[in-house]
Amino acid sequence: MKGTALSGRGAGKPIGRYFSRAWQAWCWLGLGLIATGLHLVEPTSLMGQLSYLAVAVSASAVAWIGAGRAVGDRTVGRLIALGVTLSAAGDLVFQALEWLTDSPPDVSVADVPWLCSYLALSAALLRMLSLTRHRHGAFRDVLVDVAVISVLVLLVEWELSVGALVTDSSQPVLSRVVWALYPAFDAVLIALVLRVVATRHHLRGMSVVFAAGAMCWLLADFAYLVIASADVVSTWLDTGWLLGAMLLAASTWQRPDAAPAARESRMGLGSVALAMLPLLVPGVIELLAWLRGNDANPIALLGAIILLVVLAFLRGARLLASEARARELLRSQERYSSAVAANSSDAVLVLDADGVIRNDAPQFAALLGSPEAPTRGAQVLDFATPVDLVESDAAFARALLSPGHVFEAEFEVADRDGRPMWLGTRLVNLLEDPDVAGVVVNIHDATHRKLAEQELVHQAFHDSLTGLPNRALFGDRVGQALERDRRTPLHAAVLYLDLDGFKGVNDSFGHEAGDRLLCEVARRLLSAVRAGDTVTRLGGDEFAILLEQSNRPIAEAQEVSRRILQSLLMPVEIESQLVTISASVGIALADSDSTAASLMRDADIAMYRAKAVGKGQSVVYEPSMRTAAVERLRIENDLVHALERDQLRLAYQPVVLMETGEILGFEALLRWHHPELGVLPPDKFIPVAEESGLIAPIGQWVLGEACRQAAQWRRDLPASGNLSMAVNVSGRQVASDTLVQHVATALADSGLAPSSLVLEMTETVLIQDPETAAARLQELRRLGVRLAVDDFGTGYSSLSYLRQFSVDILKVDRSFVATITDAVAIPPIVRGLLDLGRTLGLEIIAEGVEYDVQREVLLAQGCDLAQGFLFARPLSPSDARTLLTGTLRSAAAVPTG
Q: Judged by CB under 6 A, does residue 682 bind ligand C2E?
A: yes
Picked from Ca ion, ligand C2E, none, the partner binding residue 702 (CB below 5 to 8 A depending on kind) is ligand C2E
Member of 53, 791, 837, 854 binding Ca ion (CB under 5 A): 791
Picked from Ca ion, ligand C2E, none, the partner binding residue 683 (CB below 5 to 8 A depending on kind) is ligand C2E
Distance CA 193, CA 205 (A): 14
Least distance from Ca ion to the Cβ atom of residue 814, Å: 7
Member of 245, 686, 734, 858 binding ligand C2E (CB under 6 A): 686
Binding mask 829-858 for ligand C2E (x = CB under 6 A): ------------------xxxx--------
Specify the amino acid at residue 336: Y
Sign of CA dihedral 42, 43, 46, 51: positive
Ramachandran angles phi, psi of 148, nearest 5°: -65, -50
Q: Judged by CB under 6 A, does residue 702 bind ligand C2E?
A: yes
Q: Vertex 279, ends 278 and 281: CA angle to 5°?
A: 65
Please answer whether residues 202 and 237 qualify as being in contact, where contact means their C-beta atoms are separated by less than 8 angstroms.
Answer: no
Q: Judged by CB under 6 A, does residue 681 bind ligand C2E?
A: yes
Least distance from ligand C2E to the Cβ atom of residue 867, Å: 5
For residue 760, which of 720, 733, 788, 800 has the smallest C-alpha distance?
Answer: 788
DSSP state of 161: I
Member of 43, 790, 858, 872 binding Ca ion (CB under 5 A): 790
Choose the stretch contacting ligand C2E; rule: CB under 6 A; options: 53-61, 96-104, 352-360, 725-733.
725-733
Contacts of 527 by beta carbon, 8 Å cutoff, 6+ apart: 567
CB nearer to Ca ion: give 608 or 816.
816
**3-state helix, strand and coil shares in percent for the chain, rounded to the nearest 5:** 60, 15, 25
Member of 275, 607, 669, 688 binding ligand C2E (CB under 6 A): 669
CA distances (Å), origin 98, targets 86, 88, 91, 106? 18, 15, 10, 11
CB nearer to Ca ion: give 286 or 847.
847
Specify the amino acid at residue 837: G
Please answer whether residues 737 and 777 qualify as being in contact, where contact means their C-beta atoms are separated by less than 8 angstroms.
Answer: no
Neighbouring CB atoms inside 10 A of 276's CB total: 14
CB nearer to ligand C2E: give 286 or 760.
760
CB nearer to Ca ion: give 157 or 791.
791
Neighbouring CB atoms inside 10 A of 340's CB total: 11
Least distance from Ca ion to the Cβ atom of residue 613, Å: 16
CB nearer to ligand C2E: give 164 or 679.
679
Beta bridge partners of 414: 385, 420
CB nearer to ligand C2E: give 684 or 838.
684
Torsion of CA 614, 615, 621, 622, to 10 degrees: 10
CB nearer to Ca ion: give 561 or 762.
762
Q: Judged by CB under 6 A, does residue 790 bind ligand C2E?
A: yes
Member of 724, 760, 766, 802 binding Ca ion (CB under 5 A): 760
Distance CA 239, CA 262 (A): 35
Choose the stretch contacting Ca ion; rule: CB under 5 A; options: 56-64, 456-464, 629-637, 756-764.
756-764
Q: Judged by CB under 6 A, does residue 736 bind ligand C2E?
A: no
Picked from Ca ion, ligand C2E, none, the partner binding residue 848 (CB below 5 to 8 A depending on kind) is ligand C2E
Please answer whether residues 560 and 548 qualify as being in contact, where contact means their C-beta atoms are separated by less than 8 angstroms.
Answer: no
CB nearer to ligand C2E: give 32 or 699.
699
Q: Judged by CB under 6 A, does residue 278 bind ligand C2E?
A: no
Picked from Ca ion, ligand C2E, none, the partner binding residue 850 (CB below 5 to 8 A depending on kind) is ligand C2E
Member of 683, 800, 841, 897 binding ligand C2E (CB under 6 A): 683
Total chain residues near ligand C2E (CB under 6 A): 23
Member of 32, 132, 868, 875 binding ligand C2E (CB under 6 A): 868
Member of 569, 737, 869, 886 binding ligand C2E (CB under 6 A): 869
Please answer whether residues 244 and 220 qualify as being in contact, where contact means their C-beta atoms are separated by less than 8 angstroms.
Answer: yes
DSSP state of 719: G
For residue 141, which of 269, 302, 266, 304 has the smallest C-alpha distance?
Answer: 266
CB nearer to Ca ion: give 412 or 760.
760
Distance CA 14, CA 26 (A): 18
Please answer whether residues 710 and 725 qualify as being in contact, where contact means their C-beta atoms are separated by less than 8 angstroms.
Answer: yes
Least distance from ligand C2E to the Cβ atom of residue 790, Å: 5
Least distance from ligand C2E to the Cβ atom of residue 659, Å: 18
Choose the stretch contacting Ca ion; rule: CB under 5 A; options: 49-57, 343-351, 754-762, 878-886.
754-762
CB nearer to ligand C2E: give 351 or 758.
758
CB nearer to ligand C2E: give 587 or 846.
846
Q: Judged by CB under 5 A, does residue 728 bind Ca ion?
A: yes
Q: Judged by CB under 6 A, does residue 653 bind ligand C2E?
A: yes
Q: Based on the number of CB atoms within 10 Å of its own CB, is 175 exposed (0-12), middle (13-18) or buried (19 or more)? A: middle
Picked from Ca ion, ligand C2E, none, the partner binding residue 729 (CB below 5 to 8 A depending on kind) is ligand C2E
Q: Judged by CB under 6 A, does residue 812 bind ligand C2E?
A: no
Question: Pairing relation of β-strands 438-445 and 420-430?
Answer: antiparallel
Distance CA 633, CA 628 (A): 9
Ramachandran angles phi, psi of 448, nearest 5°: -60, -45
Ramachandran angles phi, psi of 577, nearest 5°: -120, 145
Q: What is the DSSP string of 599-650?
A: HHHHHHHHHHHHHHH-SS-EEE--HHHHHHHHHHHHHHHHHHHHTTTT-EEE
Total chain residues near Ca ion (CB under 5 A): 5
CB nearer to ligand C2E: give 407 or 701.
701
Q: Judged by CB under 5 A, does residue 763 bind Ca ion?
A: no
Q: Judged by CB under 5 A, does residue 867 bind Ca ion?
A: no
Choose the stretch contacting ligand C2E; rule: CB under 6 A; options: 591-599, 672-680, 722-730, 854-862.
722-730
**810-833 core/surface letters (b: 16 or more CB in 10 A; e: else):** bbbbbebbeebeeeeebeeebeeb
**Coil, strand, or helix at residue 665?**
strand
CB nearer to ligand C2E: give 500 or 790.
790
Please answer whether residues 713 and 881 qualify as being in contact, where contact means their C-beta atoms are separated by less than 8 angstroms.
Answer: yes
CB nearer to ligand C2E: give 51 or 867.
867
Distance CA 615, CA 649 (A): 28
CB nearer to Ca ion: give 83 or 687.
687
Residues that bind Ca ion (CB under 5 A): 728, 760, 790-791, 847
Residues that bind ligand C2E (CB under 6 A): 653, 669-670, 681-683, 686, 702, 728-730, 760, 790-791, 814, 847-850, 867-869, 874
